[in-house]
Amino acid sequence: MIIVDAHQHYWQPSRGDYDWLADAPALLQRAFLPADMRAERKAAGVTFSILVQAAPSEEETRYLFELAELDPAVIGVVGWVDMEANDVEARIDALIRDGNGLLRGLRPMVQDVADPAWLSQPSLDRAFDCIEGRGLSFDALTSTPQFPALFQRLQRHPHLKVVLDHAGKPAIGAADTALWSDWIDKLSQHPQLHCKLSGLLTLLGKAAGEQLIEPYVAHLFARFGAERLMWGSDWPVLTTHASFSHWLELALELTGRYAPGSQADVFAANAARFYALDLGVAQS
């Protein structure tokens, strides 16, 4: 079975544009590059990857294009652009050109923006118009504080292809998860919104058992269905809690439990459709 990792990172801290790493676990404060991933990907049987930005700079997006040239398994990049720039259309076009077919989507780091309503600001309309007009997708790195703004953005751009990263980062194990569940119910009614089955293990507390993620996975399958969920490793962030192979095996098991017979969709076909990937060409 072809497996597409719909959410993977590489980074090089010496570049100097990963400010968030200063507060990250020490395990992550080093370079993670193609040479670190090849053996793990091969051992797990994963065929392709989508690289996702990890720094709020267009330079890092171009760096990911360079790394993709060194890693034949990478068949797409989700980059970053200054969404509020006066020349945002030109910037997006330049990234499309420089990516030579690799740029599949864009992701502002919304969770790090101080204003939870930022995503709904009219000043971003031009950027979203361009993303949609160029056939790109939007990765929504959001959690419950930004969900109202995401909902407004979905209403304003009903045809935009959007994927919710890491299931919207639920507070797994918290006493009250109704807010996350209620918003997932509401957001999932937007037919263009997809969701990544990724990042859940890293939301667990240190002493929490991985079985705690199961109710959240069940809710995602109930609301998005197997046709709008796509698996991602969130490697190397994943390494703080589990191995690449372990998360893949666990996700396959949970998918078999809540959507029997749909592994080919969740682990490849949905990502291919969403990011407009030709997996046959990529294999040749």
pLDDT greater than 80 at residue 274: yes
Give the phi and the psi of residue 200 in degrees, each rounded to 5: -75, -40
Alpha carbons 170 and 184: distance in angstroms, whole number: 10
Q: Which helix (H) or strand (E) holds 75?
A: strand 74-79
pLDDT band of residue 150 (cuts 50, 70, 90) is very high
Half-sphere exposure of 123 (CA within 13 A, CB side): 10
Alpha carbons 186 and 145: distance in angstroms, whole number: 14
Average pLDDT, the chain: 96
> Does residue 225 come out as left (phi exceeding 0), alpha (psi in the -120 to 50 range) or beta?
left
Give the phi and the psi of residue 255 in degrees, each rounded to 5: -65, -40
Q: What is the pTM of this model?
A: 0.96
Q: Which domains does the chain have, with CATH numbers?
A: 4-283 (3.20.20.140)
pLDDT greater than 80 at residue 176: no
Alpha carbons 231 and 248: distance in angstroms, whole number: 8
Q: Compute the average pLDDT of residues 113-140.
A: 97
Give the phi and the psi of residue 57 in degrees, each rounded to 5: -150, 145
∠ CA 79-85-86 to the nearest 5 degrees? Answer: 135
Both tokens of residue 80? 């970053």
pLDDT tens per residue across span 213-229 = 999 999 999 999 999 99
Alpha helices, DSSP H only, in the chain?
34-44, 58-70, 88-99, 125-133, 147-156, 178-187, 214-224, 244-258, 263-264, 270-274, 279-283
